[in-house]
Structure 1
Amino acid sequence: MEAAGSLTSHCCFCSMQCGMTLVRSDPKAEINGPAGYTVKPSPDFPVATGRLCQKGLNALDHARHPSRILHPFRRTEGSAGDPAAAQGPKEWERASWEEALTDIAGRIRAIQGRAGKDAVAVYGGGSLTNEVCYLMGKFTRVALQSRYIDYNGRYCMSSAAAASNRAFGLDRGMTFPLSEIPKAKYIIIAGANVAECQPTLVPYLMEAKKNGAILVTTDPRNTMTSKMADLHVRLQPGFDSVFVNGLLNVLIREKLYDARFVAERTTGLGEVEEAVRPFTPERVEELTGVLEAVTRTIARGFAKAETGIVLTARGLEQQVNGVENTLNYINLCLLTGKIGRAGCGYGAVTGQANGQGGREHGQKADQLPGYRSIEDPAARRHVAGVWGIEPDELPGKGVSAYEMIQKIDEGEIRALIVLGSNPVVSSPNSRFVERALAKLELLVVVDLFETETASRAHWLLPGSSFLEGEGTLTNLEGRVFHRPRAFSPPGESLPDYEILCRLAEKLGRGEYFRYPSIEAVFAELCRASAGGPADYSGLTYDRLIRAKGVHWPCPAPEHPGTPMLFTGRFAHADGRARLFGITPKLPAEPADAEYPYVLTTGRLPNHYLSGVQTRRTEALLKKAPVPVAEVHPRLAAAVGLGVGSRIRLTSRRDSLVFEVKVTEGIHPRTIFVPFHWGGELCINRLTNDKLDPVSSMPEFKICAVKAEKA
């Protein structure tokens, strides 16, 4: 709601979800549109310390971009007698919402009539509100009655989530609020570049350093984050658990672990002792190049520090051994007793805007709202009761995001609805993804733009931007907060939740999707989550607005929320955390004589995910118009790269050419390329699609390549 010429919202990008104020710089600007408004940091949201990064300061630009889709569009098909018809869809043709939803519903019914309910799938996103995430799961299971739903968070947080569930019995990105970071005396940041990906988290780290904290980073590159560190470990991708086993070896051999905490609050110490015995600091140096003294220094420093925090992110998680890598860093917190108390804890730095809430309420293939298992009979009874259906009407669990694409290729899934995601760019081995999507009888994309995925759709429907959809989100520390609607959707675009409800009506299941407002959806979500691990049942819009966010679990209106997890017990039935002995394994595709280098991918500070929004933001695109491959001088010399040279990278799947940056700040056998572009600049055409056996996370961070001068 507008007050004194300004509006409030939250940034649509990373998991910090910084507060923003939209100030009307032009008195003649329309109240219902972002033109004429500028962005300033909101001083009263308690997370981002009154700051915004460059993406947040430019967050309005994509919402008012001239290429935005404002009406439903369908692809015109060639006629039966047209020889060109075999070549597939033709041009876009504008249609009404009535035409769009009627045609889509009719096609879905026809496909399901021939091939079964599971022939239609839904692919969601980690930047959608909790309410839309919740409705995506309900729509799939109640309106479509299909088992197949997953989302792009499978590519982001799934390994950390699986590890937290195994170790703690509960997954919440951070076990502590951000306000605890300045109290930590030793901080390890592994595989995370927060200075560039979550810049407004940096003030917490700097305050900790001001208070005397030691900061250690591990990454194959020297990053803006590593420049803040007291000690940087430049580790080649794939050696994460080798290095951590060295740290644990020191803790156990020198009896630096917290014996009382381990005995009273954990199980599995013997398993860890056995696993780490061979990984002496000397052996770790032989395997990784990390000096023996460095391993000892970090292990001793973290163990002896009064307080300590470990933060991990995609660098060690986006591997086929990502769950085990994460479990090993959790071992470090548990063995030293640094969890559940002030200045201590483990945190997975969530990547997407609502990566946490996106997986809590039903977008994951195996989960129901409240982070319940869809295979748990009690959970099925509870959620079915809230939805007004019988428990046996709920389908079983589906498969992960990439496995859904494989099922499209195999012909089992014949129709796909995509909302809030761009899998053609974000998936590994993306040439395969393109070929698979071409086999669909129906592809429906809800988006703001004609993305690389939408360009292959039969129907493109105009959704709402972050400025136009009221709802709640859950940030990286588990804080649930309310984001108001600033503007009405432009043109004929609709709020995302309304599109789902209208389509459910056309499918004959409308009685389960009639809500007077988005707030009513949230109220139902809270009832559905009641009693589950992610219990929101004590929350309301009014409370979230007044409190500026509440940490879950919050099981009752009078409950204060839970900023700090595991203060007295863990979420397993016996109250104890689990330690896991990790035996390091090879990546799915190790470098060899033919493909001697390791390609790894990641973000840039001025882009986000597949670049759909930031590549349409002039100020951000100007800073990084194309991806640039970072290589070490030794590699550059080996392949003959000079000033102005370009490099050809070839994997077992594809070959692409990139501009080059030669830098000492990268591991000599590692090549880094950012992933924010499509087409011939899409690095995911090269990446490996092998999956972690537990989390189904693809191995984005390790891909064997050969390099040549282009």
Structure 2
Amino acid sequence: MVTITIDGKQISVDENLSILEAAQEADVKIPTLCYLKDVNEVGACKMCVVEVEGSRHLVTSCNTKVKEGMVVNTHSERVVNSRKQVLNMLLANHDVRCFSCSKSGDCRLQDLSNEYGITKSCYPGSAAKFEAKKENPFLTYYPELCINCQRCVSTCNKVSCNGTLHNSKIGTRTLIDAPFGPDWKETDCESCGNCAAVCPTGALVAKNRKKYQVGKVKKVLTTCPHCATGCQYYLVVKDNEIVDVEPANGPSNKGLLCVKGRFGSFHFVHSPERLKYPLIKNHETGEFERATWDEALDLIAAKFTEIKKKYGSDALAGFACSRSPNEDCYMLQKMVRCAFGTNNVDNCARVCHSATVAGLAMTLGSGAMTNPISDITNDVDVIMLVGSNPEEAHPVIGMQIRQAVERGTRLIVVDPRDIGLSRQADIHLKLKPGTNVAFANGMMNVIIHEGLADEEFIRTRTEGFEELKKIVEEYTPERVAEICHIDADHLREAALMYAKAKKAPIIYCLGVTEHSTGTEGVMSMSNMAMLVGKLGRSGCGVNPLRGQNNVQGACDMGALPGDLPGYQKVTNPEVIAKFEKAWGVELNKKPGVHATDVFPAAIRKEIRGLFIFGEDPVVTDADQHHIRKALESLDFLVLSDLFMTETAQYADVILPGTSYAEKEGTFSNTERRVQRVRKAVTLEGEMRLDTDIFIDLMNRMGYPQAQLTSEEIMDEIASLTPSFAGISHRRLDKGESIQWPCPDKKHPGTPILHVGKFSRGLGWFYPAEYVPSAELPDEEYPFIMMTGRILYHYNTRAMTGKTPGLMEKEGHSFIEMNTEDAVRLGIENGEKVKVTSRRGTLITTARVGDKVSPKETWMPFHFPDGNANILTNAALDKYARIPEYKVCAVKVEKLPAEDRLAENF
């Protein structure tokens, strides 16, 4: 600590603070324009200058450290005159058009000019004129409003770490080279808008700002509905319409947003395509007809009750929506268990991360991410990224990983494709799809042989090591190199880098889980971490990035066939007794049917009635023809959704639900953080809260469910779920940020799992042997096809597809193939091709390059003009019943000339 004097006030402050930070602690106001803490501290604008006793020159307070005995004057005549001089110079070349500027009323330059009485510069400005860059659908750059503060450049390069904003010189003027012009699609700009968010003037601005004036809108703090990063932001509402999004400084996003969160999270709410009234299918005409809520719910209750009486409770099933709040998922599973009388309830984790839930629960005792996002991207030595492309699937986490690499963190990428982070990786193991278990066993072989295993951790905190050791002994680097198509020395180097690092998290995603051996792939990740003792401590752990915004929460809430809320087993008599007492009903004791097994069961007529809440399995599930056949086989199908989806076409009754912006509740993000969702708008139509729909249907089917608000539902969840016992809307609304488990109302939550002891007691080394994928290439189908996400869309595009700019950037399907294969087949980049598997055929566009290896291809699953799930294989993992999306065999063919001509028209 040092003692300094600011404006006659003596204070003691940390010696590492700047004068500006010290002044802020003392509630002394120093104006700034260019300053952004830890991002832009260059002192370029000179607005923050102060007078320091003994110094000939004024000093910039933002980057001058305090010293013992320093005497500072922040508002002397000399200081004020200097600031006025700065404003005069800035305004000389500034197009003062405040009435037409979208940042009017929210412009830092305007505020300071008014404060210091400088409304017009005393200097003549430059005669040069510069054209605005307006072609980007989301962002505009007005050079004549730029004050060259460098905030945007520093944010792009140091925070988003995308590196697409630069300085450029035109004569004596320094301007920002913003990639928003005619070639915006060809640049590396991700349109995240983080640059515009920090611009202190109207130079870099989001086009949404043109729709409203600050002060004439309300802002509602809520949670992003896209991926499971759990970004916090404000919905900006004008006249009951969401017009914009502003980032909040949430624990997982720290003021950052991606293009989907900032620009693709509200157009769908107000889409004219929204379902607004209940619909009942007229089976004579095949058309849907508008119905009243009483007609729709009475019909559903009657039909489901009839099926239940005739075929038994287990002839019914329900799917929860992993994009909906925890409270919705809880009431859906309660409806299925209490009113339907079955445990046939599941959610879309079954087709993405159920392998995580099953695998980590078996080996560690808890099927969830072990460490917080900030913990595994901030102060770490090595990051091992396996089967995950966070720059596109979890972009704000991707930004934080890029920040870590910029700070010196070493990066190991294990992925069959060249992803963006591959360029920054120290090692990229471009392994053959479906060989994750072999890779992990090879890593452990090297670690053991090099004497780098944590023997004390293994001895005191684990079991099963000797059996695993025998297995991995066979996975020499040379054998693994042959299986995985990688370099044996690169594998050795990766193993040493990971094992020797003090802090090294494993981060993985669907590239590990979506395989017929996905659960064993997950358990192999925990095997590696246990082997080197990197669990239960900061900067380490096994960290799955969950796909959808609340897929973690849907599982937490018991939307699983074998688990009640909080992963309490339906086979545990004590658990069943507790829930029977609380719910006042006798529960089914038999584990239910997994979602992926519901469809073959429907074809066999074992399941006859299905309630689907907010999911579109025709588009999202593997082997689309199989799903369509299953839906056609049902006696009665009900869908509750926002839009008329492809699955909805098969429904007997469609119910219009509400979006995240129209309800209260909570989401649980990928790091187990429970965060609030808040109502921002009320829309025209007869849409109802989904919880009210479930409650009404329960009562009509004979189960007496009291009417509950979202807050009251969370209280019920807490009363029955030990890991949520201390969580409530009231605590969250006070600003607390809580990660489960939170066992009581005074508990702060648990950032890091398995500290000192695993949830299951001892961690279990699962003895996993490599088993090839269920379907491998052959002479007829010579290519491996993988699937995945792209930055600009989210799953079925039900939300992002309603944002024109996102569709303009990426609006059609494509298949990535290697240059070598394309040359052999005579296929050129951008050419239409036919792709065929054993399950179907589609036409799409070839993107030729070296992202994928020879004999391998990759497709996004977002687009209806080439739905990859027509082709994918429904082979299921034996534990989690998860489909093998990441590996199926296909052939790619050049279209005949006449077909190419027809495609062009």
TM-score normalised by L of structure 2: 0.73
Partner of 2:239: 30
Aligned to 1:19: 232
The amino acid of 2:720's aligned partner reads A
Counterpart in the other structure of 2:473: 277
SS of the residue corresponding to residue 408 of structure 2 reads: coil
Match of 1:107 in 2: 303
Residue in structure 2 matched with residue 66 of structure 1 by the alignment: 272
Unaligned runs of 5+ in 1: 79-88
* 2:740 paired residue among 537, 545, 552: 552
Native 8 Å contact 1:131 1:471 kept in 2: yes
Structure 2 residue 759 is the aligned partner of structure 1 residue 567: no
1:620 alignment partner in structure 2: 806
Letter in 1 for 2:822: A
How do residues 131-146 of structure 1 correspond to structure 2 at under 5 angstroms? 131-146=327-342
Which has the higher mean CA deviation after the structures are superposed, 434-443 or 641-650?
Answer: 641-650
Conserved 8 A contact 2:360-2:366: yes
Please tell me the residue identity of whatever aligns with 2:260. Answer: K
Contact in 2 for aligned 1:178/1:477 (Cα 8 Å):
no
Cα 1:629–1:518, aligned 2, differ >3 Å: closer, same or farther?
same
Query: Is the contact between residue 316 and residue 325 of structure 1 (CA under 8 Å) also seen in structure 2?
Result: yes
CA contact (8 A) 1:179 1:204 kept: no
Per-residue Cα deviation, 1:150-186 (whole angstroms, up to 9, x for no partner): 1111011111111101110111133445334312111
| Distance (Å, rounded) in 2 between the aligned partners of 1:3 and 1:649 | 52
> Counterpart of 1:703?
888
1:205 aligns with 2:401: yes
- DSSP-derived class of the 1:126 partner: coil
Shift of 1:676: 1.3
Contact 1:173 1:356 in 2 (8 A): no
Contact (CA 8 Å) 1:418, 1:446: kept in 2 or not?
Answer: yes
Shift of 1:536: 0.3
Q: Is the 8 A contact 2:320 2:613 kept in 1?
A: yes
Q: 2:853 aligns with which of 667, 673, 676?
A: 667
Query: Is 1:442 aligned to residue 647 of structure 2?
Result: no
Task: Spell out, residue by residue over 1:196-255, the C-alpha distance to the aligned partner (whole angstroms, 9 max, x if none).
Answer: 111111243234324431111111111123233222111110121222221111101111
CA distance in 2, matches of 1:316, 1:617: 31
CA separation of 1:262 and 1:221: change in aligned 2, threshold 3 A:
same
Aligned residue in 1 for 2:716: 524
Deviations 1:533-570 (A, max 9, x none): xx101111111222342011111111121111111100
Alpha-carbon deviation of 1:489? 4.5
Task: Report sequence identity in percent.
Answer: 32
Q: Does 1:9 align with 2:222?
A: yes
Looking at structure 1, the residues matched to 708 and 887 of structure 2 have their Cα atoms a distance apart, in angstroms, of 48
Contact 2:223/2:667, CA 8 A, preserved across alignment: no
Aligned-pair CA distance for 1:502: 1.0
Question: Is 1:684 matched with 2:869?
Answer: yes
Which residue is 2:561 aligned to? Answer: 365
Answer whether contact 1:600 1:672 (CA < 8 A) is retained: yes
The answer to whether the 8 A contact 2:616-2:645 is kept is: yes
1:522 alignment partner AA:
M
**Cα shift at 1:507:** 1.3
**Distance in 2 separating the partners of 1:229 and 1:584:** 26
In structure 1, what is the Cα distance between the partners aligned to 2:727 and 2:676? 11
Q: Give the AA of the match of 1:652.
A: R
Q: What secondary structure does 2:785 align onto?
A: strand
User: Counterpart of 2:821?
Assistant: 635
Paired letter, 2:852 = I
User: d(CA) in 2 for partners of 1:319 and 1:674?
Assistant: 17
Higher relative contact order (CA 8 A, sep 6+): 1
Describe the superposition over 1:127-163 as per-residue Cα deviations: whole angstroms up to 9, x where unpaired.
1211111111110010111232111110111111111
1:50 equivalent to 2:255? Answer: yes
Higher alpha-carbon deviation: 296-305 or 575-584: 575-584
Structure 1's 314 and 215: CA in aligned 2 closer, same or farther, altered over 3 A? same
| 8 Å contact kept, 1:176–1:345 | no
Offset of 1:4 from its aligned partner? 6.2
Q: Determine which of 581, 588, 598 is the counterpart of 2:774.
A: 588
The aligned counterpart of 2:437 is 241
Distance in 1 (CA, whole Å) between partners of 2:673 and 2:845 is: 41
Q: Is the 8 A contact 2:391 2:398 kept in 1?
A: yes
CA distance in 1, matches of 2:592, 2:765: 29
Match of residue 419, structure 1, among 598, 605, 613: 613
8 Å contact 1:480–1:551 — kept in the other structure?
A: yes
Q: Does 1:152 align with 2:337?
A: no
Task: Write the letter of the residue equivalent to 2:481.
Answer: E
Counterpart code for 1:686 = L
Say if 1:643 and 1:150 are closer, same or farther in 2 by CA, change over 3 A. closer
- Give deviations 1:306-353, integer Å, cap 9, x for gaps: 111001111121001111112112111111111111211110110011
Q: In structure 2, the residue corresponding to 1:275 is in which secondary structure?
A: helix
**Alpha-carbon shift at residue 3 of structure 1 (Å):** 9.9
Counterpart-to-counterpart distance in 2, 1:290 and 1:373: 41
> Do the aligned partners of 2:392 and 2:790 also contact (CA within 8 Å) in 1?
yes
Question: Does the 8 Å contact 1:362/1:369 carry over to 2?
Answer: yes
Between the aligned partners of 2:749 and 2:855, the Cα distance in structure 1 is: 47
In structure 2, the CA distance between the partners of 1:266 and 1:3, relative to structure 1 (3 Å rule), is farther
CA distance in 2, matches of 1:517, 1:612: 27
* Conservation of the 8 A alpha-carbon contact between 2:666 and 2:677: yes
Q: Give the C-alpha shift of residue 519 in structure 1.
A: 0.8
CA contact 1:631–1:671 (8 Å) conserved in 2: yes
Task: Tell me which moved more, 666-675 or 609-618.
Answer: 609-618
Indicate the residue corresponding to 1:538 in structure 2: 726
For 2:13, the equivalent position in structure 1 comes to none
How many Å apart are 1:643 and its aligned residue? 4.6
Q: 1:310 matched to which residue of 2?
A: 506
What is the root-mean-square deviation of aligned Cα atoms in Å? 1.6
Indicate if the aligned counterparts of 2:508 and 2:544 stay in contact, CA closer than 8 A. yes
3-state SS of paired residue (1:547):
coil
Q: How far apart, in 2, do the equivalents of 1:3 and 1:335 lie?
A: 58
1:256: which partner in 2?
A: 452
2:246 maps to 40
Q: 1:286 and 1:682 mapped to 2: Cα distance? A: 33
Letter in 2 for 1:22: L
Query: In 2 relative to 1, CA 644–48 (structure 1 residues): closer, same or farther, beyond 3 Å?
Result: closer
Q: Partners of 1:71 and 1:386 in 2: how far apart?
A: 34
**Secondary structure of 1:363 counterpart:** coil
* 1:433 is aligned to 2:652: no
Distance across 2 between alignment mates of 1:246 and 1:516: 53
- Aligned residue number for residue 186 of structure 2: none
Q: Pick the aligned partner of 1:470 from 632, 644, 664.
A: 664
- In 1: Cα distance, 2:776 partner to 2:406 partner: 41
Match of 1:215, SS state, is: strand
Tell me the residue number matched to 2:793. 607
Query: What amino acid is aligned across from residue 276 of structure 2 in structure 1?
Result: L
Of 673, 676, 682, which aligns to 1:479? Answer: 673
Q: Is the 8 A contact 2:376 2:540 kept in 1?
A: yes
Q: Deviations over 1:616-641 (max 9, x none)?
A: 22121222111100000111122221
Larger radius of gyration: 2
Q: Which amino acid aligns with 1:671?
A: T
Structure 1 counterpart of 2:532: 336
Report the Cα distance in structure 1 between the residues aligned to 2:676 and 2:828, rounded to whole angstroms.
52
* Cα distance in 1 between the residues matched to 2:471 and 2:369: 26
C-alpha offsets along residues 460-488 of structure 1, whole Å, 9 cap, x if unaligned? 11100010121011111111112111122
1:149–1:365 contact (8 Å) kept in structure 2: yes
Instruction: Give the superposition deviation at 1:666.
Output: 1.0
Change (3 A) 1:69 1:185: same
Alignment pair present for 1:455 and 2:643: no
